[in-house]
A and B are shown apart, each in its own frame.
Chain A
């Protein structure tokens, strides 16, 4: 499938968002310049790709790959600096605790500014034929972030902000500029969350490109009769065979249910390895090769 200019890689904690987003960004960067945006300041993608974590300045992670860290707080700072021309005043204000309470009380201001920044990046990516991959949001947090456009639009019935919010809604709904990839592992809870999130993204937030990345799918090993034979042959290893079968069955179920809900699915293999290093990431990138067109 062709890939949206800006893609949010979201999912439950522990589903492998950072690994998947790093692999995805590295894959896209094989074709076109790509920016990996981290929103949680944890430096996970940098660690996976073996480079220093980005802070205020971006970090190069390859010829065409750049890692960037954005935070709602920093976007607010940029905004304040823009509307308060005197640096000494804006600095004092940002340090003031009282001010931070007031901004905390402003409904979704920081999230709104962050989303605006991302939509600008998506516009640039469309113009320059590049890609942006956004990592670091749990499913719930990303739904909140994407909903902030509509929220602000309702709050500000007219004026600049209303127009900005309408633009953001347009960005979210644009299949070329914006897509959401939900990383899901073969687990019942993760599956339910994914189906619910996909429905909300499509129906309430009007996101047109929603898909699932089914992560950690084990390669099939035993046929049915073989599994039975194996469990009989070794009592000690029966539990291990059962774990394998359960993983496979769970992947099957998740795959089937996602398809039944009309959610396109891409699959990534389970990495049975002692660590996740360059070799493993390279494997993930390879398996993305025939699935994601850049």
Chain B
């Protein structure tokens, strides 16, 4: 693996990518690799059902980082790994309690129906809250590297835009919308909302109004935090990695994702291709095998997997062509089984490497 990915001056590895590529596994393996090489690592996942963390004996109900016991592994002296699962609702409640000017305001927000819906259900809130948690972890001087496993691709861009959106949502325009703005579009939005309220009997307008109003006094605190999160995410201490798998259908998706990151002003530092199959043994070594019936089956087996390997190699080549020249490409192995233990994770961590694209 490129040493710089572990030992560079950065403090944050931001792992982005589509769903189902093993992002949590890859992010954890990268974190473990860094820990084994001596860094004090915190891995934060946003995966709502991180079974991998269960396997590492991390209690997902606790929203603070917990030590992963690495006793059986060879860890450099300064190395350690902690892990946590983000609980957006819990973090949101904490944020409200921290910034609300009075306990009454905090109570009003926590009781607001919109707030309850938003904090419980909407994906975007997870983004804001990941930001908050990130800042908390960042301020812990003992942690030298934070590995952040983000939500799947579509929301990952939202994730990076979360500080701005939070500010936008809370800035005065949102308040004028509900308080009596002059813009035609705002007035129309109000008209639709009240029409919607009439049809539905939901009283959303009142709820939105109360919600935005109650945030007024908290704007300053949020603004500062959001600005700081932004400066970290776009700053030199953050490495941006995109995680994907070597599948034909993923190539276009990954390309589109990287393009939209570039449009948002984010250059990727590396692409990690997960679940790359081991190299194929030579077919010629089957010649001597007897009986012929067995040889035929072994040849068939070889052909089957060779076809899959070719499909994979083509995808790897396309992925390689797609990333900017200065970005690194790494591959993480397919173990042939699902990683379900620290030992599995350590095996992956040890094998993360640059790909040999010449091999077929």
Contacts and interface: CB of A to CB of B under 8 A. Distances in A.
Contact of B21 (A13, A83, A221, A272): A13
A161 interface: yes
A274 B196 contact: no
A92 B190 CA distance: 13
B200 A156 contact: yes
B49 A275 contact: no
A155 B286 contact: no
Contacts of A108: 117, 121
**In the complex, which of the residues A96, A193, A242 has the most CB atoms of chain B within 10 Å of its own CB atom?**
A96
A212 to B, nearest CB: 17
Given A13-B21, A98-B174, A243 B192 contact: no
B308 A272 contact: yes
Given A83-B195, A101-B174, A237-B298, A14 B245 contact: yes
A140 B48 contact: yes
Contacts of B138: none
B18 interface: yes
Contacts of B285: 234, 236-237
A102 B124 contact: no
Across the A-B interface, give the 8 residue pairs with the lowest CB-CB distance, nearest first: A13-B20, A13-B19, A272-B304, A96-B185, A14-B20, A107-B117, A159-B201, A161-B200
Nearest to B175: A98
A282 interface: no
Contacts of B248: 275-276
Nearest to A96: B185
Interface string B259-290: 00000000000000000001011100110011
B189 A13 contact: no
B305 A243 contact: yes
Contacts of B113: 155
Contact of A156 (B154, B186, B202): B202
A189 B253 CA distance: 23
Interface of A: 12-15, 18-19, 40, 42, 44, 47-48, 80, 83-84, 89-90, 92-93, 95-99, 101-102, 104-108, 138, 140, 144, 155-162, 187-189, 192-193, 218, 221-222, 226, 229-230, 233-234, 236-237, 239-244, 246, 272-276
Nearest to A107: B117
A138 B195 contact: no
Given A106-B204, A138-B20, A237-B286, A90 B188 contact: yes
B253 to A, nearest CB: 6
Given A157-B201, A161-B199, A138 B297 contact: no
Nearest to B189: A99
Nearest to B169: A101
15 contacts: A14-B245, A40-B154, A95-B185, A159-B199, A161-B202, A221-B297, A234-B286, A234-B289, A237-B286, A237-B298, A240-B280, A243-B336, A246-B336, A272-B305, A273-B311
Contacts of B124: 104
B223 interface: no
A229 B118 CA distance: 60
Contacts of A105: 114, 118, 122, 208, 211
A184 B244 CA distance: 19
Contacts of A158: 201
B184 interface: yes
A272 B307 CA distance: 6
A91 to B, nearest CB: 9
Contacts, number: 174
**In the complex, which of the residues A90, A157, A161, A234 has the most CB atoms of chain B within 10 Å of its own CB atom?**
A234
A244 B20 contact: no
**How large, as a class, is the contact surface on chain B?**
35 or more
A236 B199 contact: no
Interface string B150-173: 001010000000000100110001
Contact of B282 (A95, A138, A189, A236): A236
**In the complex, which of the residues B18, B48, B113, B121 has the most CB atoms of chain A within 10 Å of its own CB atom?**
B121
Given A13-B19, A98-B173, A161-B200, A272 B340 contact: no
B51 A234 contact: no
B85 to A, nearest CB: 15
A13 B282 CA distance: 32
B302 A240 contact: yes
Given A90-B188, A230-B298, 13 more contacts: A13-B19, A40-B154, A80-B192, A98-B173, A105-B208, A155-B113, A159-B200, A159-B201, A234-B289, A239-B281, A241-B301, A244-B305, A274-B311
A142 to B, nearest CB: 12
B177 interface: yes
Contacts of B177: 98, 102
B311 A102 contact: no
A211 to B, nearest CB: 21
B18 to A, nearest CB: 6
Contacts of A106: 204
Given A97-B168, A242-B336, A222 B297 contact: yes
B338 interface: yes
A188 B310 contact: no
B182 interface: no
